[in-house]
Structure 1
Amino acid sequence: MRYLSVNILAGLVLAAATSPARAGSEPAAWSAVVLPQAQQLDVEAAATGFRYRVFVSVPASPPPADGYPVLYVLDGNAAFPVATFLARSAESRREVTGLAPPVVVGIGYPGADDFDVTARRRDYTIGPDDRSDAATAGGAEHFLDFIERELKPLLAARHPIDRKRQALFGHSFGGLFVLHALFTRPTGFTTYLASSPSIWWQDKRVLGELPGLIASGISPRVQISVGALEDNPPKGNHPPEVRALMATRTMIPAARELAGKLQSLAAFRDKVVYHELAGEDHGPVWLPAMTRGMQFFLEQP
């Protein structure tokens, strides 16, 4: 009888702890959600005057002897909360896995939108002259300069960072930008994570930059991923002209071919992974791509 009473009491305590608060006990006002271990800062690029919102999450655990690894994610307004959750998960398992959790840096734009369509097209695409006034497109070189010359020094001055373990993640136009950075500045990062890269841009112009990477003799680690459903007929009520345009912008064949080309090179043979993610379309595929990319990056030898 005593045993039953103790269990009944325990059940009542648990029920009270998990029951919704009554109206009279609710707080006076709702408060904004705070992302753990995260800060943000709006920064103006010195060379262009373009404004960026920089999100940073730093592990709570002490840095390794060489500093924290760093993961930079494009489309930071949307991608940063996901990436920093993955980083916190990695930190909670570090004693078991032995993997050091990263600093996560999200590069986004002022405002409440998850994706700034105009700004990302301006910053992530390449053009005939990337150093021209790239107000609408073709500004990848300007944006890469901002990351290398302004953002990285800003972060290194505040946090202990391992310069030998830095990764860049981007999706769609962001994936195109990741490939451009890989081909033209392969020492900028040690891991390049290209999710559904828009290789089709300007008749696959970015592939013309690949010989520069090969000639450099530098071989970073690379992940290229696409959704297995990306080249299926688009869902929704799109006009015929839009459907026809989308049919010319296939994603899978070019990504698969590029990954195979890199894997065939001796210097890249064990450094390139390619994923065709089952059941995934272009829009949401960046989520599993980032999950796999985080693991691929943290397992860097």
Structure 2
Amino acid sequence: MTAQWTAGPFQTLNAVQYTLVTGGEPTDHWHVSVATPPTRDATEKAPFPVLYLLDGFLTFAATAQIARTTMAFSLGQLRPIAIVGISPATDDLDRLFAQRARDLTPTSATSGYLQGHTPYGTGGADAMLDLIRLVIAPHVESAHPLDPGDRGLAGFSLGGLFTCWALARRPEGFRRFLAVSPSLWWDDHLLLDPQRTPIADHGTGDVYLAVGEREDSPDRSWPIMPAETRRVLSGLDMVADLAAFTGRLRRRQCFDVRSEVIADEQHATVWPAAVTRGLVHLYRTDRKG
């Protein structure tokens, strides 16, 4: 038997990737990936709600596929969602992690938890949020059938910190927020302190928060960390941190908050389960708005 193979493009995600250049430095180059949902009939009309996703190099492909698969089995009870992933335009993992430490943190602080991945500094969240709101969103919303009135913001780990910070301090322009395992330990628990981080009076929106059950201690994580790493991370309890942040939000009636601890998940495994639950919570058709 003779077998013949032909290579071709992989079209499952129905996605396009843009390269954005905002300056002359290598760190001024971005990949912006857009996955629009497949539609079956006239009831699934554009423009679509759009979810802007931090750490696209880690989460975009999985999230776009989860959104597509979940919608296919939703019996019409999940809105079609467009996913936009944002990442530095590089395959160099050292630069990716160094840039995320700069772009996704709200203050110029240091932390041993980052294990030295800060050659570009920290505290660039304001500039990153401006880039999303003033440059990225207007472009992709003009090039694709996306609804600027129904923007969401989502992130994992430091991206979750960024999402929670934007929700608390600069929520304007976003209607939905999805944060998984947010790094609320940042800057001596900045977002848990009402004096240092008051929640904006004009804040509003639908919120989904999640963390893995095993993120209450580095000793319960997988993969098993070296002893020195566990020592550096000792005292880290992301489950308790999320409970504290959830409590702050729930004291404000303007937020509709769902917060979950996902059973038996840890930092390395929690995203697929949590983002599936988050998409269903935020975009199910029986929700108002």
Root-mean-square deviation (Å): 2.6
Letter in 2 for 1:71: L
The partner residue of 1:74 within 54, 60, 80 is 54
Contact 1:224–1:274 (CA under 8 A) maintained in structure 2: yes
The partner residue of 1:97 within 76, 93, 118 is 76
Change in CA separation of 1:113 and 1:63 when aligned onto 2, cut-off 3 Å:
farther
Between Structure 1 and Structure 2, how many residues are aligned? 268
* Matching of residues 164-179 of structure 1 within 5 Å: 164-179=149-164
Alignment partners' CA distance in 1, 2:24 and 2:281: 34
Q: Are 2:198 and 1:238 equivalent residues in the alignment?
A: no
The partner residue of 2:234 within 234, 238, 247 is 247
Deviations along 1:206-248, one digit per CA (max 9) or x if unpaired, are 33464232x22x32111111100012314535133x2222113
Shift of 1:155: 1.0
Alignment partners' CA distance in 2, 1:126 and 1:231: 23
Change in CA separation of 1:47 and 1:140 when aligned onto 2, cut-off 3 Å:
farther
More helix per residue: 1
Aligned to 1:57: 35
Q: Are 2:95 and 1:108 equivalent residues in the alignment?
A: no
* Matching of residues 82-231 of structure 1 within 5 Å: 82-93=62-73, 96-112=75-91, 116-128=96-108, 135-208=120-193, 210-213=197-200, 215-216=201-202, 218-231=203-216
Alignment partners' CA distance in 1, 2:8 and 2:146: 33
Shift of 1:267: 2.8
TM-score scaled by structure 2?
0.83
Report the more deviating stretch, 256-265 or 167-176: 256-265
Shift of 1:142: 1.0
Choose 1 or 2 for highest CA Rg. Answer: 1
Alignment partners' CA distance in 1, 2:124 and 2:43: 35
Alignment partners' CA distance in 2, 1:284 and 1:45: 34
Q: Which has the higher contact order (CA 8 A, sep 6+)?
A: 2
Shift of 1:146: 0.5
Contact 2:63–2:272 (CA under 8 A) maintained in structure 1: no
Shift of 1:253: 0.9
Alignment partners' CA distance in 1, 2:108 and 2:3: 63
Contact 1:171–1:196 (CA under 8 A) maintained in structure 2: yes
User: SS of the counterpart of 1:157?
Assistant: helix
Gaps of at least 5 residues in structure 1 are 1-21
Alignment partners' CA distance in 2, 1:64 and 1:114: 38
Contact 1:230–1:252 (CA under 8 A) maintained in structure 2: yes
Contact 1:175–1:197 (CA under 8 A) maintained in structure 2: yes
Q: Are 2:237 and 1:257 equivalent residues in the alignment?
A: no
TM-score scaled by structure 1?
0.80
Aligned to 1:45: 22
Deviations along 1:181-218, one digit per CA (max 9) or x if unpaired, are 111211221111111111111101233464232x22x3
Change in CA separation of 1:292 and 1:200 when aligned onto 2, cut-off 3 Å:
same
Contact 2:32–2:86 (CA under 8 A) maintained in structure 1: yes
Alignment partners' CA distance in 2, 1:220 and 1:229: 28
Aligned to 2:114: none
Deviations along 1:119-161, one digit per CA (max 9) or x if unpaired, are 11111112149xxxx9321111111111011001101211232
Letter in 2 for 1:225: A
User: SS of the counterpart of 1:247?
Assistant: coil
